[in-house]
Structure 1
Amino acid sequence: MHTETTVSQSRSASPEPAALSSSTTVSATAPGQLRVIKRNGTVVPYDDSKIAVAMTKAFLAVEGGTAAASSRIHETVNALTKQISATFQRRMPSGGTIHIEDIQDQVELVLMRSGDQKVARDYVLYREEHARLRAEKQQAQPDPDYPRLQVTLADGSRRDLDMGRVRTVVEEACAGLKDVEAKTILDEAMRNLYDGVSLDDVNTSLVITARTLVEQEPNYSFATARLLLDKLRAEALSFLGVAESATQADMSEYYAQALPAYIRKGVELELLSPELLQFDMAKLAAALDAERDLQFTYLGLQTLYDRYFIHSDEVRFELPQIFFMRVAMGLAVEEPEKEARAVEFYQLLSSFDYMSSTPTLFNAGTLRPQLSSCYLTTVPDDLRGIYGAIQDNAMLSKWAGGLGNDWTPVRSLGAYIKGTNGKSQGVVPFLKVANDTAVAVNQGGKRKGAVCAYLETWHLDIEEFLELRKNTGDDRRRTHDMNTANWVPDLFMKRVFEDKDWTLFSPNDVPDLHDLYGQAFEQRYEEYEHQTSTGEMKLFKRIRAQELWRKMLGMLFETGHPWITFKDSCNLRSPQQHAGVIHSSNLCTEITLNTKSDKEIAVCNLGSVNLAQHVVDGALDTDKLRRTVKTAVRMLDNVIDINYYSVPAARASNLRHRPIGLGIMGFQDSLYKLRIGYGSDAAVEFADRSMEAISYYAIEASSNLATERGSYISYEGSLWSKGTLPIDSIEILSRNRGEQFIEVDRSQTLDWDGLRVQVKNNGMRNSNVLAIAPTATIANITGVSQSIEPTYQNLYVKSNLSGEFTVVNPYLVHDLKDRGLWDTVMVNDLKYYEGSVQKIDRIPADLKHLYANAFEVEPRWIVDAASRRQKWIDQAQSLNLYIAGASGKKLDVTYRMAWYRGLKTTYYLRALAATTTEKSTVETGTLNAVAASATEVPQACALDDPDCEACQ
């Protein structure tokens, strides 16, 4: 009787599902941090004892409760329970969420594999019956909180909206996020739905609702991204034939199925390289971590979806973790242990500790793996060479390469042409052709073509070059789409400081000036000036240096161009002085590599460390940073061998010198974590020490890689081979320029002597290892501040190719919440004051200092921090300068200081007019209330300037 009663009770008590979905007790044997999502959307801790109880009831229902049966059941259930828990622990070693259905699927699977077919069959039938009963109950009893709605499917048919699933998706999206409420999203989203709405529009309503809440609480950006993921999962998984839809909890199982299906489909569609089929998919699939999908902000995920995920007929069939694994596989394809390296690379990318540059993310693992970011070329002074260079621009741009062209060799307007006995039209008409080529050949249809033209300051066409971006004048001599930059020798800057004259020449009359720098340039330049006095030189122009300098700064303020970059700093501190001359930088002014007309096109291979991810417990985690840099340098070195080269001269240069450019992003986020204001000595010191560590570890990693793979071909004769590191090359610059014209901090804290010995003994794998790129888009993906930039505004609307996004500074919001100061009035005040906290009285002084925006930080702090970084960098940094209340005097002082502090280059000038800076001086009576007439002024991120192709 007792046995029969036990069997009967176990049958009637919903043995397996009820037991698994009702308890919140945590077992001592539960794997770390695993959670279970119940059918009603609530999340409870994982408890393997409940699995054991449920399976025991299932066995008892079939085999009875005799003593002999009980002993076998106990042993079998214990073994199967451990097997189930081990499976989830292996899938999610760092923890995560599992849906109740996933657990039941696993129970069903182990029962069938154990040979207990009767128990398994009974279990399957039981689940099917209760699934049917739940469906009937749901249909008969609509959700008590929301009206019953029907949705229209893609085929035009209708069915009831599954509110249970909607609740699950929203609850998953909000799980673990502070101050984020699922009910708030559901209530508002359901008010916007109607009977017969499409299934896609249900997700759209949820996403739009959540994104409108971001300005109230930044964590809603994460919730919005997670809601968007539901759409992405349905689109990709259905295309791959894995599932029609999936919750986040389902992805621990579906990711493993989706990866091999994705690779096969990508190869079949000729979108992925067949080489990817050579990988052991089971090993890679086991490494996919579905929980890392939860790291994305809405802007980051939408950017990936719109611009990075591989698609066929506009159907994106990549998912975030598959995307990162595809990139990792593409970078590991030539590694001896490619699965292990792919997993290593995947872990680094998917953790957001490091991110490859956009071309690498676009093209890794594809049939045309053009992974490099920018190409530097020198245009020769002959017609065939000029149009050959423009053709090279077109081919490089087609495969998503940004371009930096050195146009200095091309003779000036009025110069003699021996072949035709005529006079040259100068460099400007050819620049117009190059401009139009960049417009015509965009970067693989993924972003605008981007090119920057460089010209040395002594070129006779320099004054017309300065006006290329003006909106007035002869449009045939304007380049409205091309970036421009001045390539400024030290001698010119000395003449500016000393208020002396400057002489302009045509390069065909002074051909060697192009390849000279430092004292050699000064000596030869003065010899040519003497020839103008004796009558030997006929074509020239004399101009006061300060007058030309004012024109340069005036055009920079008016048009944003040409940028100011410094020839001698770049060359005198280059490790590759023995191999050639640096004639220009690249599209974003961080790359400084040698070029030789048609023989060598320099190539930059970029990636960035997320510095914010390495600030742990209020300090820089140097051990983690060292590990990150080591793997990142290997990934960048692999780019060089895997890369698709559309121009032979680029391949020759890249394989000969093997330069890479490891940079950083999230500098401002790091300061927030450290509670340091950007405009402070402490921030300058952190810039110094953090860059010192990255420089040390990057040089160390490249030297270690040389032991494994050999030094780069042109290593002998380099500064590296002489034991001269970037910190040492400051002395070379100082000797050539003169001590009175340079002031650079020389402090250091690490064992540089030991590293010098290692480099001399082991060599270097890469001619250059460090460069700080703008990181505009990859910083969006990882959800941190761009590059080394101060915060643009604390609240603004960002517009880019993926749409408009409300961006609010989460650090500020959470600080204000902690002090009880965050409310709707504060939101409106921030809107009115364009993201500035300085005019809001109730914000404390310490927060005003910490959250000063880019235009509220004095430019000297930006320059000083850049100077401290530059001493450790063998290339340059993409440095935007922000100047509020801009005037000629402010620009003059700032750019002179940039040269004086030893910077190699500068990038965009972000100038704020005085009328804008004084906008907040209004008579409203109180500074913490919004006037009735005040309206929000939409703001676009400065880093998404329409002229900044790198930001697109």
Structure 2
Amino acid sequence: MAETPERNAPTGTSPGVRVIRRDGSVSPFDAGKISVALTKAFLAVEGDDAAASSRVHHVVAALTGQVEASLLRHTGPETALHIEHIQDIVELALMRGGHHKVARAYVLYREDRARAREQRTPKREENGLTVRSADGTVSPLDWRRVTEVVEEAVAGLEGTAAEPVLAETRRNLYDGISAEELALAQIMAARTLVEQEPNYSYVSARLLLDKLRGEALTHLAGEQRQAGQRQLAERYGDYFRDYVRRGVELELLTPELRTFDLDRIAEAIHPERDLDFGFLGLQTLYDRYFLHERGTRFELPQAFFMRVAMGLALREDDREARAVEFYELLSTFHFMASTPTLFNAGTTRPQLSSCFLTTVDDDLDAIFQSYQNNALLAKYSGGLGNDWTPVRGLGAHIKGTNGQSQGVVPFLKIANDTAVAVNQGGKRKGAACAYLETWHVDIEEFLDLRKNTGDERRRTHDMNTANWVPDEFLRRVEADTTWTLFSPDEVPDLHDAYGNAFAERYREYEAAADRGEIRVFRRVRAVELWRRMLTMLFETGHPWITFKDPCNLRSPQQHAGVVHSSNLCTEITLNTSVDEVAVCNLGSVNLARHVTRDGLDAERLERTVTTAVRMLDNVIDINFYTIPEARRANLRHRPVGLGLMGYQEALFEQGIALASDAAVEFADRSMEHLSYYAIAASSTLAEERGSYQSYEGSLWSRGILPIDSLRLLAEHRTGDALDVDYSSTLDWNTLRQRVRTSGMRNSNVLAIAPTATISNICGVGQSIEPQFRNLFVKSNMSGDFTVVNPHLVRDLKARGLWDEVMVSDLKYFDGSLGAIDRVPDELKALYATAFEVDSRWLVDAASRRQKWIDQAQSLNLYLAAPSGRKLDELYRYAWHKGLKTTYYLRAQSATHVEKSTLRGTDGKLNAVAPAVPTVPTAPPEPAACRIDDPGCEACQ
């Protein structure tokens, strides 16, 4: 009987792919050599008897195929792979496969051979090597410039030196190396050192910056140009004026930018801030944000920030002064606008808004119009939240055809495929979330949408889903009574009802069903449906749990409509209808820049928030609206969503452990200040520009602020169904009176988004997330990046504990300190990772924040060892604590961080990044929202 070929079996040589040997010679890539090396490693550890040899043959064939696939995944016809890098990937594959003894022997063998080579091999000479430019011309390698660039990159960075980077660069040189490969060799050389010293992330960023400078200057000058950071700083003004001119010529920038006083603008630019990026941040900007012509970037970081600032100041009276004010906030990372704003501000298509919420009406024309709306909104980087509750359920009568409805699921399948097709101009994945109320008759099929089994025509693998849960359902879960499912065409007013009014009307419909007056309904045990909701959440990551009544009872705009859903990332809670598509304009304060060891810097926070709210309000008037319903809603209500990021770093800076009362108190006080300053800023804008159109009748107009609306929710909760804190420290009475007198410029001002991408740019943790690991590989659309907690490294260095053994221990224990004996307990508590912290602490902190927020917050919850009981207790606890929404449930898998060297797995620049996500999760999640990148990039 013939053997079945192993999956990913090696294919042998790959034409055009070359291997750089240690002596600089080049040979064709041959996967057979990998197979031989693996076989020797296995047999050395496990013996060479017949039984072992047979098993090793199959294991080696599979591993070789995996290594080859990973190595060749991004290769081109002229790709050159260094022999050391190939060995890194082999080592990584051994660890991923659980062959730890073999991998350990392999690592030790490599280290012994490296030491032996170092002793007997003379220093490599660069003389005589040549470099091939993009146009094919060949010139001698200018090693002096390479040295100067690296020395400039390490200047002023503690713990870094030029020689290790230069030594690693030398290993990757060969005669005829391309200019592109030479630049990448320097960058990747620094990246290999990040896990030993986090500051090498800045070195890598500065080396990437040199590559970017060369691209930009060459593009603008029309001939090959190079300049160091100091050289460019002296003529940054000339560069900036040329950049604006060229951007307008290419029809990428709006001609209005040329009407600014560019001399005044250029004088305000700080070129030295180009050096403040970590590698992940600058690589993200390089890959996806900087303006380019056919892939050649000509926008440098400070030009990028000033372009955004100018784009947001277009309608200001003193445009130059405001642009400089906005630039200061962005370029110092005190505040960061959302991704659509960064993408499009100052361009010819300034679609600057982040989130769009729609309600899909129960009509075929309306349903297909919703698909077109989704496509138009997603095209320019908008994240989508769709309320599908009005669409009639399976078995409902269709009057026009006298037939029966197929329910909402087939329409959701089309919505899913639309999101896939429109991928936001190739910059990032299109994304949407469908919401359905818990009483909808199709709710059980809705729960199954993300399953990997069943009829593919009734599955939506690429679309997020969320439950829109009324309080009445949770009351029945706790009372263990029945729950009735209806088709919305027979109970149309349930969609707009909430609170006690919903509960009363719902019971009336149940009585009508008992009398035979309703055709389509079904009774289920409430607790059984709840368990199934939680089971699907654990198994598939969806649907998320969001709470209808808190969102509506605390909405400032309940006089003007109903909140029917949240958005893609569950932080936006705005009214939607057939006539209005809700729009939210997001940005986030970097909390890490507003704390000291002594606590919150309230004065700095007030300055930041005041300017940030003005920037967000400007978005509304400058915005390019792709559909009229969005324009109508945004200009009428003017909502913005100011949030925060860098919360974990703010705790690190103060020495506060996340799982502590002090952290919960800090969450409360920091959000109180942010809320106070944001509301005050919007009220000040109302004095200058006027209140939003629908202000009269709002909670604001009645002097009811978010802290007050908490009591409105309490009135609808009986007994112990609401357990919240009402404490405050600021002068809210004065602010209430001011809001009633002066008005509000914005119907909503606060929402905490995931900040998945903009936090990378700023070099801080996402949103209100706990740290995932102290050392791990982070994956996103720009590639895979080693991330080391610099705060931990600082504290371990201070105690003399940061060394190679500690790095090895962190890898082995999945980035956790818990099992490392020599680490003090106080550091273990301070640097506990997400799965080491009881999620109740996260809920407690979120509850304290929620009382100050007029919208919601993206809150991920983590369970190291999930069970039905734990899930039930956690989500009921979130409901009792007054949360409006929750986001992903994160659960650990059997394998966590790879227990191997992370060398060679860094960044898109490395053409052989591993194909397998470095940190998998139990429930499958969309590529943009993996566990190692918690948060959705389509929001920020």
**Range class of TM-score, shorter chain:** 0.7 to 0.9
Please say if 1:570 is aligned against 2:551: yes
Per-residue CA deviations over 1:126-146 (Å, capped at 9, x if unaligned) read xxxxxxxxxxxxxxxxx9986
- Tell me the equivalent position of 1:311: 292
1:677 touches 1:851 (CA, 8 Å); kept in 2? yes
Per-residue CA deviations over 1:149-175 (Å, capped at 9, x if unaligned) read 433333433433333322221121111
TM-score by length of 2: 0.83
C-alpha displacement of 1:941? 8.1
Please say if 1:377 is aligned against 2:353: no
Aligned counterparts of 2:523 and 2:194: Cα–Cα separation in 1? 58
- Tell me the equivalent position of 1:901: 881
1:799 touches 1:944 (CA, 8 Å); kept in 2? no
C-alpha displacement of 1:334? 1.0
732-741 or 781-790: which moved more? Answer: 732-741
C-alpha displacement of 1:190? 2.1
Per-residue CA deviations over 1:631-690 (Å, capped at 9, x if unaligned) read 000000000000000100000000000000000000001010010111111100000000
1:381 touches 1:409 (CA, 8 Å); kept in 2? yes
- Tell me the equivalent position of 1:365: 346
Which of the residues 779, 785, 796 maps onto 1:805?
785
Structural mapping, 1:207-356, within 5 Å: 207-241=187-221, 244-356=225-337
Flag the 1:919–1:530 CA change in 2: closer, same or farther, 3 A: farther
Aligned counterparts of 1:166 and 1:945: Cα–Cα separation in 2? 40
- Tell me the equivalent position of 1:44: none
TM-score by length of 1: 0.82
Question: What is the SS of the residue equivalent to 2:423?
Answer: coil
- Tell me the equivalent position of 1:621: 601
Please say if 1:664 is aligned against 2:644: yes
Q: Which has the larger Rg?
A: 1
2:636 touches 2:694 (CA, 8 Å); kept in 1? yes
Per-residue CA deviations over 1:594-647 (Å, capped at 9, x if unaligned) read 0011x1000010000000011134321110100000000000000000000010
Aligned counterparts of 1:555 and 1:181: Cα–Cα separation in 2? 51
C-alpha displacement of 1:815? 1.2
Please say if 1:867 is aligned against 2:847: yes
Aligned counterparts of 2:781 and 2:916: Cα–Cα separation in 1? 20
Question: What is the SS of the residue equivalent to 2:936?
Answer: helix
- Tell me the equivalent position of 1:82: none
Aligned counterparts of 2:547 and 2:495: Cα–Cα separation in 1? 14
Flag the 1:940–1:260 CA change in 2: closer, same or farther, 3 A: farther
Aligned counterparts of 1:917 and 1:864: Cα–Cα separation in 2? 27
2:754 touches 2:767 (CA, 8 Å); kept in 1? yes
2:360 touches 2:386 (CA, 8 Å); kept in 1? yes
Flag the 1:144–1:387 CA change in 2: closer, same or farther, 3 A: closer
- Tell me the equivalent position of 1:744: 724
- Tell me the equivalent position of 1:940: 919
- Tell me the equivalent position of 2:502: 521
Aligned counterparts of 1:568 and 1:947: Cα–Cα separation in 2? 30
Which amino acid in the other structure matches residue 260 of structure 1? Answer: R
Per-residue CA deviations over 1:797-837 (Å, capped at 9, x if unaligned) read 11111111111111111211111111212111111111111
Which amino acid in the other structure matches residue 627 of structure 1? Answer: R
Question: What is the SS of the residue equivalent to 2:814?
Answer: coil
- Tell me the equivalent position of 1:80: none
Aligned counterparts of 2:682 and 2:588: Cα–Cα separation in 1? 16
Aligned counterparts of 2:753 and 2:839: Cα–Cα separation in 1? 19
Flag the 1:396–1:144 CA change in 2: closer, same or farther, 3 A: closer
1:800 touches 1:944 (CA, 8 Å); kept in 2? no
- Tell me the equivalent position of 1:951: 937
Please say if 1:541 is aligned against 2:522: yes
- Tell me the equivalent position of 2:88: none
Which structure exhibits the higher relative contact order, with contacts defined as CA atoms closer than 8 Å and separated by 6 or more residues?
A: 2
- Tell me the equivalent position of 1:65: none
Question: What is the SS of the residue equivalent to 1:321?
Answer: helix
Which amino acid in the other structure matches residue 919 of structure 2? Answer: A
Aligned counterparts of 1:361 and 1:410: Cα–Cα separation in 2? 36
- Tell me the equivalent position of 1:674: 654
1:222 touches 1:294 (CA, 8 Å); kept in 2? yes
Q: Considering only aligned residues, what root-mean-square deviation do their CA atoms show, in Å?
A: 2.0
- Tell me the equivalent position of 2:702: 722
Per-residue CA deviations over 1:177-225 (Å, capped at 9, x if unaligned) read 1110111111221232233333332221111110000000000000110
- Tell me the equivalent position of 2:48: none
C-alpha displacement of 1:308? 0.5
Per-residue CA deviations over 1:215-270 (Å, capped at 9, x if unaligned) read 00000000110011000000011111187011011122232111111111111111
Question: What is the SS of the residue equivalent to 2:559?
Answer: helix
Per-residue CA deviations over 1:258-291 (Å, capped at 9, x if unaligned) read 1111111111111111111111110111111111
Aligned counterparts of 1:191 and 1:443: Cα–Cα separation in 2? 40
Aligned counterparts of 2:185 and 2:895: Cα–Cα separation in 1? 37
Aligned counterparts of 2:403 and 2:624: Cα–Cα separation in 1? 42
C-alpha displacement of 1:438? 0.8
Aligned counterparts of 1:322 and 1:467: Cα–Cα separation in 2? 47
Percent of aligned positions that are identical = 67
297-306 or 808-817: which moved more? Answer: 808-817
**Equivalenced residues, count:** 794
Which amino acid in the other structure matches residue 661 of structure 1? Answer: G
Please say if 1:819 is aligned against 2:799: yes
- Tell me the equivalent position of 1:91: none
- Tell me the equivalent position of 2:836: 856
Aligned counterparts of 1:400 and 1:832: Cα–Cα separation in 2? 39
Aligned counterparts of 1:936 and 1:260: Cα–Cα separation in 2? 42
C-alpha displacement of 1:843? 1.0
Per-residue CA deviations over 1:33-86 (Å, capped at 9, x if unaligned) read xxxxxxxxxxxxxxxxxxxxxxxxxxxxxxxxxxxxxxxxxxxxxxxxxxxxxx
Aligned counterparts of 2:571 and 2:137: Cα–Cα separation in 1? 56
C-alpha displacement of 1:491? 0.3
530-539 or 747-756: which moved more? Answer: 530-539
Aligned counterparts of 1:746 and 1:904: Cα–Cα separation in 2? 16
- Tell me the equivalent position of 1:138: none
Aligned counterparts of 2:454 and 2:152: Cα–Cα separation in 1? 59
Flag the 1:389–1:944 CA change in 2: closer, same or farther, 3 A: closer
Per-residue CA deviations over 1:851-892 (Å, capped at 9, x if unaligned) read 110000001000000000000000000000011101111110
Which amino acid in the other structure matches residue 918 of structure 2? Answer: Q
Per-residue CA deviations over 1:718-775 (Å, capped at 9, x if unaligned) read 0000000000001000001224200011100000001001101110000000000000
Which amino acid in the other structure matches residue 338 of structure 2? Answer: S
Which of the residues 760, 767, 770 maps onto 1:787?
767
1:796 touches 1:938 (CA, 8 Å); kept in 2? no
Structural mapping, 1:383-422, within 5 Å: 383-422=364-403
Aligned counterparts of 1:936 and 1:179: Cα–Cα separation in 2? 32
Which of the residues 200, 203, 220 maps onto 2:180?
200
Aligned counterparts of 1:187 and 1:206: Cα–Cα separation in 2? 10
Structural mapping, 1:46-125, within 5 Å: none
Flag the 1:277–1:786 CA change in 2: closer, same or farther, 3 A: same
- Tell me the equivalent position of 2:613: 633
Question: What is the SS of the residue equivalent to 2:229?
Answer: coil
Aligned counterparts of 1:945 and 1:686: Cα–Cα separation in 2? 32
Note the residue ranges of structure 1 that are not aligned, 5 or more in a row.
1-142, 921-934
Which amino acid in the other structure matches residue 527 of structure 2? Answer: Q
Aligned counterparts of 2:597 and 2:897: Cα–Cα separation in 1? 39
- Tell me the equivalent position of 1:81: none
- Tell me the equivalent position of 1:191: 171
Per-residue CA deviations over 1:349-388 (Å, capped at 9, x if unaligned) read 0000000000000011111100000100000001111111
Question: What is the SS of the residue equivalent to 2:666?
Answer: helix
Flag the 1:216–1:536 CA change in 2: closer, same or farther, 3 A: same
Aligned counterparts of 2:561 and 2:139: Cα–Cα separation in 1? 70
Flag the 1:470–1:936 CA change in 2: closer, same or farther, 3 A: closer
